Chain A
């Protein structure tokens, strides 16, 4: 049996409908329309990734041309696991990502539900205000948060000091610096994730809620049995983006803590920057960067597989 996609003849039940092979003219036009995008992707994504891999196999200070690199093979990769600094950065990165996801996901769902369902005025204004934190450049708000977190004279310490809580180091203590950065990250990004959740909620047909109400389901039952399951695809995307954004965190750490104190906020992106630009070990830094890239691909793939299984 052949399936004619042009006439819209339905496929036999249980079979996947295969698209008809494109005609030569269609292929040419497809190539024409796709080539600019493919060219841009090739130049700005594929080439840099391949170059990073190539550099990771060499020793290079970046003060010289690419042609003057010294071949190291896989030594830079082999050395990663014996590097205590890299292990510390990896540990901090994993902890940072976990904390961000654990805080972000429930909070964004909660805010999304609160902003979507109740009938109230000013919802759009609240959504805009929430999203604004995402739009403001990180550099600007990081400086503000640096002042908020200032020990002894900062507003947070002043307020807590008034109720007898003192001595929280915030960014200046290894015990609290990472969590302080996580709180900043969640504050900055929560509006973005909330908007994604609201967008996901708009995709759930209203008829389902009507049917649920007819069946006697209350708000809690509708939320747990209808809203959250139907948000699955959106949430997978939100988790994926949250993980990627958290893994890539750099600006606030560079501006506020420089990886300190005592290496407590040194995450992979900062270590890569320091290794490449301060130590002049571009080969090692590229090995770290490509390892991080593979880690992100693996996390992304795992989430996609989980989503497909769920579907």
Chain B
């Protein structure tokens, strides 16, 4: 009996010993610092930026910490763009989740619905309203509350290689679809594996945004409020143009695939002068410059060619904003708003710019704060970015709706089916209309 008791005790001991490390592993601290104690308040900033910009952000965070005598500690967490949303989903509601995050405006509707994007306090909301253009403030406002600081703005324009244009005898950038087709045919006729006009595939936004810019420049739109308008003649005309470009050989879809890093053949073929024209956003300036070196001087930017039903060039734009996690503790949220106010304020950077403005400009990305645009006026005047800045007032924001990601992928699938000849233009748009309607109605 005594032996059995001893063995039972031993069994319990072994079980307990095995369980302790597991229990300890399962119970992480929330790492947020003490509430009202002497420990600093610890906050974290999740971003998808590269090492150079992360280093700049860390430098800014260090300066902010020293200004607050160590009462607030800011940790910078960086993940690749492709992992940003999944990181938010897996960590956003946990105690160790990021206190602040840089997010794509397409995600905002869902983040607000699930209370991950906290409403800005009134004074901060007023500061945002005063310092940013109205359309950008509207972009970060959901359920009548400002949800964060607008950061970068991206929009699309026609990028073309002037060396190829010269070789093909094309004198000016195309301003209409007819000119676009002619220029694309002329470049393709140069041979040596060249395509006139590149259309990106295997990347939802990379496929849909340029296409939608063409739609906008033909007087069409993706949505009318929450109802898709993909069955209109203005939209169908873009699908037909794509099919014609592929049929004529001016567009070779296999030359413009993308990969998880949003690079790949579409970038390489433009860099290697195999692609004459492509519709792309301003943010890829850094990648182009790095890849092309001195040949970057051959790259020029022009407005989106206007379609037969359009009246002027219009581009699709999207923006990023920094939100504060609604699940963070109150003192963390307060510290996060303080940090973001400072980071986006006009004293944290150089020569009247915000630190955020400096970081964005280092990537060739357009800042959005009015004073940042003024502080960086010289840099923004260089030809590549100036063309985008000029297009900004007429840009059409990509709709930020619940189900936006699904909607984009559904559109991408149909456009790619069209490009690769699996469906005709009318069928592609009918399918897209049906699928997008279904996705959006499921979210109501």
Contact = CB atoms under 8 A, between A and B. Distances in A.
Interface size class of A (residues with CB under 8 A): 35 or more
A220 to B, nearest CB: 44
Contacts of A146: 259, 264
Given A146-B264, A172-B201, A63 B420 contact: no
Contacts of A172: 201-202, 253-257, 265
Interface in A11-50: 25, 28, 31-32, 35-36, 39, 43
B110 interface: yes
A200 interface: no
B260 A258 contact: yes
B356 interface: no
A273 B416 CA distance: 21
B19 interface: yes
Interface stretch (B66-74, B87-95, B314-322): B87-95
A279 interface: yes
B81 interface: no
Interface string A55-74: 00000011111000000000
Interface string B1-40: 0000001001100110011001000000000000000000
B93 A255 contact: no
A280 B404 CA distance: 11
A277 B89 contact: yes
Specify the main secondary structure of chain B where it touches its partner: helix
Contacts of A257: 202, 257, 259
B193 interface: yes
B85 A277 contact: yes
B258 interface: yes
Interface stretch (B122-130, B181-189, B238-246, B405-413): B405-413
A222 B331 CA distance: 77
Contact of A260 (B116, B202, B268): B202
A35 B11 CA distance: 10
A43 B22 contact: yes
Interface in B96-126: 110-111, 113-116
**Max count, chain A CB within 10 A of own CB: residue among B88, B203, B265:** B265
B18 A35 contact: yes
A39 B15 CA distance: 9
B417 interface: yes
Contact of B7 (A28, A61, A279): A28
Interface of B: 7, 10-11, 14-15, 18-19, 22, 82, 85-86, 88-90, 92-93, 110-111, 113-116, 193, 201-203, 253-260, 264-265, 268-269, 272, 274, 403, 405-406, 409, 412-413, 416-417, 419-420, 422
Given A152-B193, A260-B203, 18 more contacts: A43-B22, A63-B92, A63-B93, A146-B264, A151-B255, A151-B269, A153-B272, A169-B254, A172-B257, A254-B260, A256-B259, A257-B202, A260-B416, A261-B202, A261-B253, A262-B422, A277-B85, A278-B409
19 contacts: A32-B10, A61-B89, A61-B113, A62-B89, A64-B93, A64-B114, A152-B193, A172-B253, A172-B256, A173-B254, A174-B420, A255-B259, A256-B260, A257-B259, A258-B202, A259-B202, A262-B417, A277-B85, A277-B89
